[in-house]
A and B are shown apart, each in its own frame.
Chain A
């Protein structure tokens, strides 16, 4: 999953026209924990990864999530 497709997935999930890689999920995009859970499911379906709950507090920005996906898809 590249950066562009992640941005599209996040935008779609959170009902935003446009998001940027440095946007913070909660403060800037007003995501709820329920949105984050749906987003994670969506990403898991697209990538085949399992993202443990322990990783979630570390996803402050879209970039954090992107880095996590990249490091686990291409370890």
Chain B
């Protein structure tokens, strides 16, 4: 089909070393029938080529390969025990590797009610190389539109199968290809190297945290009320700081307080940028694949830094990286970064990692289906950040899907940690 891009390869390499799935949860007040989900998955698989693919290794590179014969997207059914059962299932699935060969690269689990009029949840477990937040939202819309129609005995219009979208490297703007890329790459790498030296020097002095030998993922969710969400949006607009930077700053500050006991230090943060609209040609959300830039930033957090100061500094750095065009270079080097991290096995890639999707274009109703929420968790590992998270606004409420490492933070400690992040943000709007 096509070679995986640098970023997709990075996720594939990671998935071979540690579990690396993206687990999506659709929470229903009135869910679709199992039959409607089954048929909808078949429609999706017919339409989207990467849902009919496996990943194979050829001369040190990973390639998407069409399944022959096609293996249907698995749909497992579990009888729901209680309202928290879905989180238990997420915690099991997020600690399993995605079987990329023979594939397919998506499986699903439906938590069906044990009694009438009970909520239900559908889990979609993806290989991260085929999905990003833009294609995920398009896929959820398509899945639920099909399922809603099928449950009303309407046969969905069977559209033609989509072509495989091009690899990101082939559709980058001209300045990021061929010889011209070199002029961008050299100063970029020099800057990265300089940052690395400065960071390592600073970390040695402060004795960085030991890396756990291994660890499972431990996920939980924080949801803000509609009122708090609106207040946070207003705060971020008034202060000209993106909500993304504010949330990431709250995560960094919580770590700084708990792990570094408020000492001055350099910290690293990873953030994602959507590259789809800036490619030539732009890549539509209905095409699967991972068209993101995993950007890494280093910032100084002083003993008395406030969340506003950290957010402002991060906002400036992200803005500069986006404007300068470095967002196109990061994905070219992601595989190298991951391989280096795995080879050296002596440092974490960052303290925090955050992906923010903004307000997601998902409806509350699809025919008779009523959706109450969407959550998205991506696996982490002991060489990854201390906390990773996915943020979005869904039906007017900001929610953070956080992932801790169980060897470091588990049970009540994780709940306290998540609450601390929430409180840091809530205090901002109380103190304005």
Contacts and interface: CB of A to CB of B under 8 A. Distances in A.
Interface stretch (B87-95, B112-120, B304-312, B353-361): B353-361
Interface residues of A, number: 20
Interface string B33-73: 00000000000000000000000000000000000000000
B25 interface: no
Chain A interface SS verdict (over half): helix
B319 interface: yes
Contacts of A33: 242, 244, 274, 358
A23 interface: no
Given A27-B282, A54-B359, A32 B237 contact: no
A56 B322 contact: no
A37 B242 contact: yes
Contacts of A56: 358-359
A66 B323 CA distance: 25
Given A37-B242, A38-B240, A41-B237, A32 B358 contact: no
Contacts of B163: none
Contacts of A26: 277-278, 282
B280 to A, nearest CB: 10
Interface in B332-391: 358-361
A24 to B, nearest CB: 8
B236 interface: yes
Interface string B216-238: 00000000000000100110111
B69 to A, nearest CB: 38
Nearest to A28: B277
B432 to A, nearest CB: 16
A53 B358 contact: yes
Contacts of A52: 230, 233, 359, 396
A53 B233 CA distance: 8
B256 interface: no
A27 B319 CA distance: 18
B12 interface: no
Nearest to B327: A32
A34 B396 contact: no
B240 A41 contact: yes
B361 A37 contact: no
Nearest to A37: B242
Contacts of A24: 277
Nearest to B396: A54
Nearest to B245: A34
Given A26-B277, A40-B237, A53-B393, A32 B359 contact: no
B315 interface: yes
Interface string A33-75: 1100110110010000010111111100000000000000000
Interface of A: 24, 26-27, 30, 32-34, 37-38, 40-41, 44, 50, 52-58
Given A27-B278, A34-B318, A53-B358, 5 more contacts: A26-B278, A33-B242, A34-B242, A52-B230, A54-B396
9 contacts: A24-B277, A26-B282, A27-B278, A37-B242, A41-B240, A52-B233, A53-B233, A53-B359, A58-B361
